[in-house]
Structure 1
Amino acid sequence: MSFWSTERLLQKHRLDKLIDPFDPQCVKQGAYELSFGSEAFISTELKGTKQTLVTGEQIVIPPGQFGLLLTEEVVHVPNHAIGFISIRFSIKLRGLVNVSGFHVDPGFNGRLKFAVYNAGSQNIILTCGDRVFIIWFSDLSGPTRDVYDGDHAGQTVITSEDVMQLQGEVASPAELKRKIDELKREFEQRFTSLDDKITIWRTVTITLLSGLFVAVIVGMIFLALRIYAERPAAPSNQPAQSTRSQEPTQDLKQREPAANQKTENSANTPNNTSAIKPEPTK
Protein backbone atom coordinates (compact mmCIF):
# COMPACT_ATOMS: atom_id res chain seq x y z
CA MET A 1 0.00 0.00 0.00
CA SER A 2 1.35 3.40 -0.95
CA PHE A 3 0.04 6.96 -0.76
CA TRP A 4 -0.65 8.76 -4.00
CA SER A 5 1.63 11.50 -5.17
CA THR A 6 0.33 14.79 -6.50
CA GLU A 7 0.75 13.53 -10.07
CA ARG A 8 -1.05 10.24 -9.39
CA LEU A 9 -3.88 12.05 -7.60
CA LEU A 10 -4.41 14.34 -10.60
CA GLN A 11 -4.29 11.33 -12.93
CA LYS A 12 -6.76 9.30 -10.86
CA HIS A 13 -9.13 12.24 -10.64
CA ARG A 14 -9.35 12.42 -14.39
CA LEU A 15 -10.29 8.75 -14.44
CA ASP A 16 -12.57 8.41 -11.39
CA LYS A 17 -13.64 12.02 -10.63
CA LEU A 18 -12.53 11.82 -7.03
CA ILE A 19 -13.67 15.27 -5.87
CA ASP A 20 -16.47 17.57 -7.04
CA PRO A 21 -15.96 20.47 -7.45
CA PHE A 22 -12.27 19.92 -8.12
CA ASP A 23 -9.61 22.65 -8.09
CA PRO A 24 -6.06 21.62 -9.14
CA GLN A 25 -4.70 24.46 -6.95
CA CYS A 26 -5.94 22.58 -3.88
CA VAL A 27 -3.66 19.59 -4.59
CA LYS A 28 -0.51 20.03 -2.48
CA GLN A 29 2.16 17.54 -1.38
CA GLY A 30 0.05 14.56 -2.46
CA ALA A 31 -3.07 15.71 -0.57
CA TYR A 32 -6.22 17.62 -1.48
CA GLU A 33 -7.36 20.55 0.68
CA LEU A 34 -11.11 20.42 1.25
CA SER A 35 -13.21 23.50 2.02
CA PHE A 36 -15.59 24.16 4.92
CA GLY A 37 -19.09 23.98 3.44
CA SER A 38 -22.48 25.59 3.99
CA GLU A 39 -23.67 23.66 7.06
CA ALA A 40 -22.43 23.39 10.63
CA PHE A 41 -23.68 22.61 14.10
CA ILE A 42 -22.05 23.77 17.36
CA SER A 43 -22.90 22.11 20.69
CA THR A 44 -23.55 25.50 22.33
CA GLU A 45 -26.03 26.60 19.65
CA LEU A 46 -28.93 28.26 21.54
CA LYS A 47 -31.55 27.22 19.00
CA GLY A 48 -30.33 23.63 19.08
CA THR A 49 -30.32 23.40 15.29
CA LYS A 50 -27.70 23.46 12.56
CA GLN A 51 -26.56 26.67 10.91
CA THR A 52 -26.87 27.22 7.18
CA LEU A 53 -24.09 29.46 5.89
CA VAL A 54 -23.15 31.37 2.78
CA THR A 55 -19.63 31.84 1.50
CA GLY A 56 -17.76 34.22 3.78
CA GLU A 57 -20.05 33.69 6.79
CA GLN A 58 -18.36 32.65 10.04
CA ILE A 59 -19.02 30.32 12.95
CA VAL A 60 -17.50 30.24 16.45
CA ILE A 61 -16.50 27.09 18.30
CA PRO A 62 -15.98 27.99 21.99
CA PRO A 63 -13.29 26.29 24.10
CA GLY A 64 -14.27 22.79 25.17
CA GLN A 65 -17.18 22.51 22.73
CA PHE A 66 -17.92 20.23 19.80
CA GLY A 67 -18.78 21.09 16.24
CA LEU A 68 -20.04 19.14 13.26
CA LEU A 69 -18.76 20.56 9.98
CA LEU A 70 -19.69 19.64 6.42
CA THR A 71 -17.32 19.82 3.47
CA GLU A 72 -18.13 21.84 0.39
CA GLU A 73 -16.89 19.07 -1.92
CA VAL A 74 -18.39 15.68 -2.62
CA VAL A 75 -15.73 12.98 -2.24
CA HIS A 76 -15.66 9.65 -4.13
CA VAL A 77 -13.24 6.91 -3.07
CA PRO A 78 -12.69 4.17 -5.70
CA ASN A 79 -13.02 0.50 -4.72
CA HIS A 80 -9.27 0.01 -5.09
CA ALA A 81 -8.31 2.88 -2.76
CA ILE A 82 -8.85 4.25 0.76
CA GLY A 83 -8.83 7.83 2.00
CA PHE A 84 -7.23 9.37 5.10
CA ILE A 85 -8.49 12.68 6.50
CA SER A 86 -7.24 15.34 8.88
CA ILE A 87 -7.32 19.08 9.61
CA ARG A 88 -4.79 21.55 8.30
CA PHE A 89 -1.92 22.17 10.72
CA SER A 90 -2.50 25.94 10.91
CA ILE A 91 -5.99 25.25 12.28
CA LYS A 92 -4.88 22.37 14.48
CA LEU A 93 -2.47 24.79 16.09
CA ARG A 94 -5.43 26.78 17.44
CA GLY A 95 -6.63 23.66 19.27
CA LEU A 96 -9.17 22.20 16.82
CA VAL A 97 -9.07 18.39 16.92
CA ASN A 98 -10.73 15.92 14.54
CA VAL A 99 -12.62 13.30 16.58
CA SER A 100 -14.71 11.72 13.81
CA GLY A 101 -12.20 9.15 12.59
CA PHE A 102 -9.27 9.28 10.22
CA HIS A 103 -10.20 7.24 7.16
CA VAL A 104 -12.79 7.08 4.36
CA ASP A 105 -13.88 3.62 3.30
CA PRO A 106 -13.50 2.26 -0.27
CA GLY A 107 -16.61 2.99 -2.31
CA PHE A 108 -17.76 5.96 -0.18
CA ASN A 109 -19.49 8.76 -2.08
CA GLY A 110 -20.79 11.99 -0.51
CA ARG A 111 -19.82 15.06 1.49
CA LEU A 112 -17.62 14.41 4.50
CA LYS A 113 -18.75 15.31 8.02
CA PHE A 114 -16.01 16.30 10.43
CA ALA A 115 -16.77 16.05 14.14
CA VAL A 116 -14.33 18.46 15.78
CA TYR A 117 -13.48 19.53 19.33
CA ASN A 118 -11.95 22.80 20.49
CA ALA A 119 -9.23 21.70 22.91
CA GLY A 120 -7.76 25.20 23.06
CA SER A 121 -8.37 28.04 25.47
CA GLN A 122 -9.86 30.50 22.98
CA ASN A 123 -12.70 30.63 20.49
CA ILE A 124 -11.97 29.15 17.08
CA ILE A 125 -13.54 31.03 14.19
CA LEU A 126 -14.05 29.34 10.83
CA THR A 127 -15.24 30.92 7.61
CA CYS A 128 -17.44 29.18 5.09
CA GLY A 129 -15.35 28.43 1.97
CA ASP A 130 -11.99 28.33 3.77
CA ARG A 131 -9.67 25.37 3.22
CA VAL A 132 -9.87 23.57 6.54
CA PHE A 133 -9.54 19.81 5.86
CA ILE A 134 -7.09 17.48 4.06
CA ILE A 135 -7.56 14.10 2.39
CA TRP A 136 -4.91 11.65 1.18
CA PHE A 137 -5.53 8.63 -1.02
CA SER A 138 -3.78 5.29 -0.89
CA ASP A 139 -3.99 2.12 -3.00
CA LEU A 140 -5.33 -1.16 -1.69
CA SER A 141 -3.66 -4.40 -2.71
CA GLY A 142 -6.40 -4.71 -5.31
CA PRO A 143 -10.02 -3.79 -6.04
CA THR A 144 -12.57 -4.88 -3.42
CA ARG A 145 -16.23 -5.79 -3.71
CA ASP A 146 -16.71 -4.91 0.00
CA VAL A 147 -17.46 -1.24 -0.61
CA TYR A 148 -19.16 1.11 1.85
CA ASP A 149 -22.96 1.12 1.70
CA GLY A 150 -23.83 2.30 5.23
CA ASP A 151 -26.03 5.08 6.57
CA HIS A 152 -23.70 7.85 5.41
CA ALA A 153 -23.54 6.75 1.79
CA GLY A 154 -24.49 9.63 -0.47
CA GLN A 155 -24.77 12.13 2.43
CA THR A 156 -24.93 15.82 1.49
CA VAL A 157 -26.39 17.51 4.61
CA ILE A 158 -26.20 17.47 8.41
CA THR A 159 -29.24 15.49 9.56
CA SER A 160 -31.43 15.92 12.63
CA GLU A 161 -29.97 12.68 13.99
CA ASP A 162 -26.49 14.18 13.76
CA VAL A 163 -27.64 17.26 15.68
CA MET A 164 -29.37 15.24 18.41
CA GLN A 165 -26.17 13.29 19.08
CA LEU A 166 -24.21 16.48 19.76
CA GLN A 167 -26.85 18.60 21.51
CA GLY A 168 -26.08 20.13 24.89
CA GLU A 169 -23.23 22.15 26.29
CA VAL A 170 -20.18 20.07 27.16
CA ALA A 171 -18.55 20.53 30.56
CA SER A 172 -15.04 20.87 29.19
CA PRO A 173 -11.96 21.40 31.39
CA ALA A 174 -11.74 25.02 30.22
CA GLU A 175 -15.43 25.57 30.91
CA LEU A 176 -15.18 23.92 34.32
CA LYS A 177 -12.21 26.11 35.18
CA ARG A 178 -14.15 29.21 34.12
CA LYS A 179 -17.12 28.22 36.27
CA ILE A 180 -14.86 27.42 39.23
CA ASP A 181 -13.23 30.84 38.88
CA GLU A 182 -16.66 32.47 38.77
CA LEU A 183 -17.75 30.59 41.90
CA LYS A 184 -14.51 31.57 43.61
CA ARG A 185 -15.04 35.24 42.82
CA GLU A 186 -18.66 35.03 43.95
CA PHE A 187 -17.63 33.33 47.19
CA GLU A 188 -14.96 35.95 47.85
CA GLN A 189 -17.46 38.73 47.23
CA ARG A 190 -20.00 37.13 49.56
CA PHE A 191 -17.34 36.46 52.19
CA THR A 192 -16.18 40.08 52.00
CA SER A 193 -19.76 41.28 52.25
CA LEU A 194 -20.40 38.96 55.22
CA ASP A 195 -17.22 40.14 56.92
CA ASP A 196 -18.30 43.75 56.44
CA LYS A 197 -21.72 42.95 57.91
CA ILE A 198 -20.13 41.24 60.91
CA THR A 199 -17.88 44.25 61.45
CA ILE A 200 -20.86 46.60 61.28
CA TRP A 201 -22.92 44.50 63.69
CA ARG A 202 -19.96 44.22 66.04
CA THR A 203 -19.53 47.99 66.03
CA VAL A 204 -23.26 48.54 66.59
CA THR A 205 -23.33 45.97 69.40
CA ILE A 206 -20.31 47.48 71.15
CA THR A 207 -21.82 50.95 70.79
CA LEU A 208 -25.16 49.83 72.25
CA LEU A 209 -23.54 47.96 75.13
CA SER A 210 -21.30 50.93 75.88
CA GLY A 211 -24.31 53.25 75.87
CA LEU A 212 -26.24 50.85 78.09
CA PHE A 213 -23.33 50.59 80.54
CA VAL A 214 -22.99 54.37 80.73
CA ALA A 215 -26.74 54.72 81.22
CA VAL A 216 -26.69 52.18 84.08
CA ILE A 217 -23.78 53.96 85.80
CA VAL A 218 -25.40 57.36 85.43
CA GLY A 219 -28.70 55.95 86.73
CA MET A 220 -27.00 54.46 89.76
CA ILE A 221 -25.28 57.77 90.49
CA PHE A 222 -28.57 59.69 90.24
CA LEU A 223 -30.31 57.08 92.43
CA ALA A 224 -27.62 57.40 95.10
CA LEU A 225 -27.84 61.17 95.01
CA ARG A 226 -31.63 61.02 95.27
CA ILE A 227 -31.51 58.64 98.25
CA TYR A 228 -28.95 60.84 99.96
CA ALA A 229 -31.02 63.96 99.31
CA GLU A 230 -34.25 62.39 100.65
CA ARG A 231 -32.66 61.04 103.90
CA PRO A 232 -33.80 63.14 107.04
CA ALA A 233 -30.98 65.19 108.52
CA ALA A 234 -30.15 64.75 112.29
CA PRO A 235 -30.55 67.96 114.54
CA SER A 236 -27.22 69.66 115.12
CA ASN A 237 -27.89 70.42 118.92
CA GLN A 238 -28.98 66.90 119.82
CA PRO A 239 -25.63 65.86 121.27
CA ALA A 240 -25.49 69.00 123.41
CA GLN A 241 -28.99 68.42 124.78
CA SER A 242 -28.26 64.85 125.64
CA THR A 243 -25.09 65.96 127.39
CA ARG A 244 -26.99 68.61 129.25
CA SER A 245 -29.76 66.21 130.16
CA GLN A 246 -27.18 63.87 131.62
CA GLU A 247 -25.37 66.55 133.62
CA PRO A 248 -28.31 67.37 136.05
CA THR A 249 -28.77 63.68 136.69
CA GLN A 250 -25.15 63.32 137.64
CA ASP A 251 -25.31 66.46 139.79
CA LEU A 252 -28.38 65.17 141.57
CA LYS A 253 -26.67 61.87 142.21
CA GLN A 254 -23.62 63.69 143.57
CA ARG A 255 -25.73 66.08 145.66
CA GLU A 256 -27.91 63.37 147.23
CA PRO A 257 -25.14 62.01 149.46
CA ALA A 258 -24.12 65.52 150.48
CA ALA A 259 -27.71 66.40 151.35
CA ASN A 260 -28.14 63.20 153.26
CA GLN A 261 -24.93 63.91 155.15
CA LYS A 262 -26.09 67.40 156.05
CA THR A 263 -29.39 66.02 157.20
CA GLU A 264 -27.66 63.52 159.35
CA ASN A 265 -25.37 66.21 160.76
CA SER A 266 -28.27 68.47 161.49
CA ALA A 267 -30.10 65.65 163.15
CA ASN A 268 -27.16 64.73 165.27
CA THR A 269 -26.36 68.21 166.41
CA PRO A 270 -29.17 68.71 169.06
CA ASN A 271 -28.59 65.30 170.46
CA ASN A 272 -24.99 66.04 171.02
CA THR A 273 -25.86 69.33 172.67
CA SER A 274 -28.29 67.76 175.03
CA ALA A 275 -25.83 65.08 175.89
CA ILE A 276 -23.22 67.53 177.06
CA LYS A 277 -23.91 68.60 180.58
CA PRO A 278 -22.26 71.61 182.01
CA GLU A 279 -19.87 70.88 184.71
CA PRO A 280 -20.71 72.32 188.12
CA THR A 281 -18.86 75.33 189.30
CA LYS A 282 -16.66 74.80 192.04
Structure 2
Amino acid sequence: MILSDKTIIKMLKEKTLFIEPLEEGQIQPASVDIRLGNTFSVVEDTSDGIITMQNEIKYKTIVTDKYILLPGQFVLATTLEYFAMPDDLTAFVEGRSSLGRMGLFIQNAGWVDPGFEGEITLELFNANRCAIELQSGRRVGQLVFAKMDENALNPYRGKYQGQKGATGSKVFMDNDVS
Protein backbone atom coordinates (compact mmCIF):
# COMPACT_ATOMS: atom_id res chain seq x y z
CA MET A 1 0.00 0.00 0.00
CA ILE A 2 1.41 3.40 -1.01
CA LEU A 3 1.27 5.95 1.80
CA SER A 4 -0.86 9.07 1.56
CA ASP A 5 0.21 12.53 2.64
CA LYS A 6 -1.91 12.14 5.78
CA THR A 7 -0.08 8.96 6.80
CA ILE A 8 3.34 10.43 5.98
CA ILE A 9 2.59 13.51 8.13
CA LYS A 10 1.33 11.29 10.97
CA MET A 11 4.47 9.11 10.86
CA LEU A 12 6.72 12.20 10.83
CA LYS A 13 4.91 13.63 13.88
CA GLU A 14 5.12 10.28 15.70
CA LYS A 15 8.82 10.08 14.70
CA THR A 16 8.35 6.58 13.23
CA LEU A 17 9.66 8.07 9.95
CA PHE A 18 12.51 10.59 9.96
CA ILE A 19 13.28 13.05 7.15
CA GLU A 20 15.55 16.07 7.75
CA PRO A 21 15.60 18.77 6.56
CA LEU A 22 12.00 18.78 5.39
CA GLU A 23 9.73 21.64 4.40
CA GLU A 24 5.97 21.23 4.54
CA GLY A 25 5.64 21.91 0.79
CA GLN A 26 7.71 18.82 -0.04
CA ILE A 27 4.91 16.52 1.10
CA GLN A 28 2.80 15.62 -1.92
CA PRO A 29 -0.46 13.60 -2.02
CA ALA A 30 1.40 10.25 -2.32
CA SER A 31 5.10 11.09 -2.01
CA VAL A 32 7.76 13.39 -0.59
CA ASP A 33 9.81 15.59 -2.90
CA ILE A 34 13.55 15.05 -2.65
CA ARG A 35 16.10 17.78 -3.30
CA LEU A 36 19.59 17.63 -4.66
CA GLY A 37 22.39 17.87 -2.11
CA ASN A 38 25.77 19.51 -2.72
CA THR A 39 28.00 16.44 -3.06
CA PHE A 40 28.87 14.93 -6.44
CA SER A 41 31.18 11.99 -7.17
CA VAL A 42 32.66 10.82 -10.47
CA VAL A 43 34.59 7.64 -11.12
CA GLU A 44 38.31 8.30 -11.43
CA ASP A 45 40.01 6.96 -14.54
CA THR A 46 41.97 3.75 -14.17
CA SER A 47 45.31 3.11 -15.87
CA ASP A 48 43.82 0.34 -18.02
CA GLY A 49 40.41 1.98 -18.47
CA ILE A 50 38.57 -0.94 -16.87
CA ILE A 51 36.47 -0.99 -13.70
CA THR A 52 36.20 -4.39 -12.04
CA MET A 53 33.77 -5.57 -9.42
CA GLN A 54 36.55 -7.18 -7.39
CA ASN A 55 38.54 -4.00 -6.67
CA GLU A 56 37.55 -0.83 -4.87
CA ILE A 57 36.46 1.89 -7.28
CA LYS A 58 38.07 5.28 -6.74
CA TYR A 59 35.90 8.40 -6.94
CA LYS A 60 36.63 12.10 -7.08
CA THR A 61 34.17 13.88 -4.79
CA ILE A 62 33.24 17.51 -5.31
CA VAL A 63 31.27 19.64 -2.85
CA THR A 64 29.58 22.52 -4.66
CA ASP A 65 26.20 24.21 -4.95
CA LYS A 66 26.32 24.06 -8.78
CA TYR A 67 27.59 21.22 -10.95
CA ILE A 68 27.70 21.22 -14.75
CA LEU A 69 26.77 17.78 -16.07
CA LEU A 70 28.22 17.42 -19.55
CA PRO A 71 26.45 15.59 -22.40
CA GLY A 72 26.82 11.83 -21.94
CA GLN A 73 28.31 12.29 -18.45
CA PHE A 74 27.41 10.18 -15.43
CA VAL A 75 27.73 11.46 -11.86
CA LEU A 76 26.66 10.31 -8.43
CA ALA A 77 24.82 12.88 -6.34
CA THR A 78 23.06 12.85 -3.01
CA THR A 79 19.78 13.97 -1.58
CA LEU A 80 19.73 17.00 0.68
CA GLU A 81 17.48 14.99 2.99
CA TYR A 82 18.60 12.35 5.48
CA PHE A 83 16.13 9.49 5.99
CA ALA A 84 15.54 6.91 8.73
CA MET A 85 13.08 4.24 7.65
CA PRO A 86 11.15 2.03 10.05
CA ASP A 87 11.39 -1.74 9.64
CA ASP A 88 7.96 -2.02 7.98
CA LEU A 89 8.32 0.68 5.32
CA THR A 90 10.06 0.63 1.95
CA ALA A 91 10.37 3.35 -0.66
CA PHE A 92 11.52 4.00 -4.18
CA VAL A 93 12.86 7.06 -5.97
CA GLU A 94 11.07 8.50 -8.97
CA GLY A 95 12.64 11.22 -11.08
CA ARG A 96 10.73 14.33 -12.08
CA SER A 97 9.17 14.22 -15.53
CA SER A 98 10.16 17.87 -16.08
CA LEU A 99 13.84 16.93 -15.70
CA GLY A 100 13.52 13.77 -17.79
CA ARG A 101 12.18 15.97 -20.60
CA MET A 102 15.47 17.89 -20.41
CA GLY A 103 17.41 14.65 -20.88
CA LEU A 104 18.38 14.28 -17.21
CA PHE A 105 17.95 10.67 -16.12
CA ILE A 106 17.68 10.22 -12.36
CA GLN A 107 17.99 6.73 -11.04
CA ASN A 108 18.40 4.97 -7.74
CA ALA A 109 19.44 1.34 -7.91
CA GLY A 110 16.62 -0.60 -6.33
CA TRP A 111 14.37 0.07 -3.43
CA VAL A 112 15.14 2.01 -0.29
CA ASP A 113 15.02 -0.91 2.10
CA PRO A 114 13.13 -1.03 5.39
CA GLY A 115 15.52 -0.04 8.19
CA PHE A 116 17.74 2.07 5.88
CA GLU A 117 19.17 5.25 7.35
CA GLY A 118 21.14 7.89 5.47
CA GLU A 119 21.15 10.21 2.51
CA ILE A 120 20.12 8.57 -0.75
CA THR A 121 22.74 8.39 -3.48
CA LEU A 122 21.32 9.26 -6.89
CA GLU A 123 22.77 8.22 -10.23
CA LEU A 124 22.45 11.06 -12.74
CA PHE A 125 23.03 10.80 -16.49
CA ASN A 126 22.82 13.56 -19.09
CA ALA A 127 21.29 12.09 -22.26
CA ASN A 128 21.06 15.53 -23.87
CA ARG A 129 23.47 17.15 -26.35
CA CYS A 130 23.71 20.21 -24.09
CA ALA A 131 25.24 20.49 -20.64
CA ILE A 132 22.79 20.64 -17.72
CA GLU A 133 23.42 22.81 -14.67
CA LEU A 134 22.54 21.00 -11.45
CA GLN A 135 21.83 23.14 -8.42
CA SER A 136 21.81 22.09 -4.78
CA GLY A 137 18.42 22.47 -3.13
CA ARG A 138 16.41 21.92 -6.34
CA ARG A 139 13.70 19.29 -6.42
CA VAL A 140 14.97 16.36 -8.49
CA GLY A 141 12.49 13.62 -7.67
CA GLN A 142 10.15 12.14 -5.17
CA LEU A 143 10.22 9.31 -2.69
CA VAL A 144 7.17 7.06 -2.77
CA PHE A 145 6.63 5.05 0.42
CA ALA A 146 5.01 1.62 0.56
CA LYS A 147 3.84 -0.03 3.79
CA MET A 148 4.79 -3.68 4.20
CA ASP A 149 2.40 -6.26 5.60
CA GLU A 150 4.69 -6.63 8.65
CA ASN A 151 8.18 -5.75 9.87
CA ALA A 152 11.07 -7.07 7.81
CA LEU A 153 12.71 -10.14 9.31
CA ASN A 154 16.11 -8.70 8.39
CA PRO A 155 15.86 -4.90 8.02
CA TYR A 156 18.68 -3.17 6.19
CA ARG A 157 21.92 -2.89 8.14
CA GLY A 158 24.22 -3.11 5.12
CA LYS A 159 27.31 -1.41 3.78
CA TYR A 160 25.53 1.85 2.89
CA GLN A 161 23.84 2.31 6.29
CA GLY A 162 24.32 5.86 7.58
CA GLN A 163 25.79 7.12 4.31
CA LYS A 164 26.22 10.84 3.80
CA GLY A 165 27.22 12.43 0.52
CA ALA A 166 27.37 10.83 -2.91
CA THR A 167 28.52 7.35 -1.95
CA GLY A 168 30.29 5.25 -4.55
CA SER A 169 29.78 1.57 -5.26
CA LYS A 170 30.95 -0.90 -2.66
CA VAL A 171 30.29 -3.93 -4.87
CA PHE A 172 33.85 -5.11 -4.20
CA MET A 173 32.69 -5.92 -0.64
CA ASP A 174 30.18 -8.50 -1.87
CA ASN A 175 31.07 -12.11 -1.18
CA ASP A 176 29.21 -13.64 -4.11
CA VAL A 177 30.92 -14.00 -7.46
CA SER A 178 27.95 -15.33 -9.41
Short-chain TM bin: 0.7 to 0.9
- Deviation, 1:102, is 4.0
Aligned residues: 157
Ranked by relative contact order (alpha carbons within 8 Å, sequence separation 6 or more), the top structure is: 2
> Is 2:151 the partner of 1:143?
yes
Which residue matches 1:121? 129
> Is 2:113 the partner of 1:94?
no
Letter in 2 for 1:13: L
Task: Find the partner of 1:155 among 146, 160, 163.
Answer: 163
Task: Indicate the SS of the match to 1:151.
Answer: coil
Letter in 2 for 1:107: G
Alpha-carbon RMSD across the aligned residues, in angstroms, is: 2.2
Q: 1:90 to 1:98 in 2, by over 3 A?
A: same
Which residue matches 1:208? none
Task: Indicate the SS of the match to 1:4.
Answer: coil
Contact 1:34 1:134 in 2 (8 A): yes
Which residue matches 1:60? 68
> Is 2:25 the partner of 1:19?
no
**Displaced runs of 4+ in structure 1, greater than 6 A?**
none
Which residue matches 1:132? 140
- Matched ranges for 1:148-187 at <5 A: 148-159=156-167, 162=168
Contact 1:35 1:129 in 2 (8 A): yes
Query: Normalized per residue, which structure has more strand?
Result: 2
Partners in 1 of 2:160 and 2:153 — Cα distance? Answer: 18
Contact 1:86 1:102 in 2 (8 A): no
Structure 2: 5+ residue runs without aligned partners? 46-58, 172-178
> Is 2:38 the partner of 1:3?
no
Partners in 1 of 2:127 and 2:88 — Cα distance? Answer: 35
- Deviation, 1:107, is 0.3
Letter in 2 for 1:38: N
Q: 1:50 to 1:164 in 2, by over 3 A?
A: farther
Partners in 2 of 1:164 and 1:146 — Cα distance? Answer: 20
Contact 1:50 1:163 in 2 (8 A): no
Which residue matches 1:81? 89
Query: Normalized per residue, which structure has more helix?
Result: 1
- Deviation, 1:98, is 2.8
Task: Indicate the SS of the match to 2:142.
Answer: strand
- Deviation, 1:164, is 10
Which residue matches 1:51? 62
Which residue matches 1:106? 114
Contact 1:31 1:134 in 2 (8 A): yes
Which residue matches 2:49? none
Task: Indicate the SS of the match to 1:90.
Answer: helix
Per-residue CA distance 1:72-102 (angstroms, 9 max, x = gap) = 1101221111101121111111111134324
- Deviation, 1:65, is 1.1
Which residue matches 2:53? none
Letter in 2 for 1:50: T
TM norm structure 2: 0.80
TM norm structure 1: 0.52
Identity of aligned residues (%): 23
Partners in 2 of 1:99 and 1:146 — Cα distance? Answer: 25
Structure 1: 5+ residue runs without aligned partners? 166-282
Contact 2:36 2:135 in 1 (8 A): yes
- Deviation, 1:30, is 1.3
Task: Indicate the SS of the match to 2:60.
Answer: coil
Contact 2:66 2:135 in 1 (8 A): yes
- Deviation, 1:157, is 2.5
Per-residue CA distance 1:35-56 (angstroms, 9 max, x = gap) = 11121124599xx721112xxx
